[in-house]
Amino acid sequence: MNPYTITGPVDCSVKPDLSVLKGKSVIITGGAGGLGEGYVRAFSKNGSFVTFGDIDEHKGKKLAEETGAQFVKVDVAQWEQQVEMFKAAKANSPHKSVDVVIANAGIGGQDSIWELQDPGSDPVKPEFPILDVDLFGVVYTFKLACHYFRSQPEDPQRDRCFIFKGSMMGYIDNIVRP
């Protein structure tokens, strides 16, 4: 694999060559709604084989029917369910590949990190559903992408592209997002 070289910032005034997306196998988490749905539609329209995972089965199936993309019911916080999504992407894609992965699924809210318990009672194991999705869900997606990228043949037609989705809220001091 050629070493990565930095080619400078992307010039957004130059129209990208979307023909390179044809035949690529693209995985998108949280693709049934919101921004993820936009990615599913855009990649599908440009000839990619799209696999998207989401907890919303109703919206996922409807979007799959409409776009021809492959829907897999996935809670990204569940490693085993993400494994099934990656396996389906590789098995059913035209070149048996995983070329582009977008870790898009994310939820807002607060985990109960600061909730205090009665110091006189035994401590209760806390639940962290937001961290499970926004941190561990993304790390699972990344680990699986690396696994499949490494088994990809050295071929100029095969990509190895991972996109982390973030938000300014992750950088800004903000009272509602500790």
Ligand X SMILES: NC(=O)c1ccc[n+]([C@@H]2O[C@H](COP(=O)([O-])OP(=O)(O)OC[C@H]3O[C@@H](n4cnc5c(N)ncnc54)[C@H](O)[C@@H]3O)[C@@H](O)[C@H]2O)c1
Examine residue 133 and tell whether it contacts ligand X (CB under 6 A).
Answer: yes
**How many binding residues for ligand X (CB under 6 A)?**
22
Q: Which of 75, 83, 158, 162 binds ligand X (CB under 6 A)?
A: 75
Q: Which of 20, 167, 174, 177 binds ligand X (CB under 6 A)?
A: 167
**CB nearer to ligand X: pick between 53 and 70:** 53
How far apart CA 154 and CA 51 sit, in angstroms, is 22
Considering only the stretches 8-16, 73-81, 84-92, 120-128, report the one whose residues sit in contact with ligand X under the rule CB under 6 A: 73-81
Examine residue 106 and tell whether it contacts ligand X (CB under 6 A).
Answer: yes
Examine residue 63 and tell whether it contacts ligand X (CB under 6 A).
Answer: no
How far apart CA 161 and CA 38 sit, in angstroms, is 18
Max CA separation in the chain (angstroms): 65
Examine residue 36 and tell whether it contacts ligand X (CB under 6 A).
Answer: yes
Pick from 74, 104, 78: nearest CA to 88: 74
Examine residue 55 and tell whether it contacts ligand X (CB under 6 A).
Answer: yes
Residues that bind ligand X (CB under 6 A): 29-30, 32-36, 53-56, 74-77, 104-107, 133, 165, 167
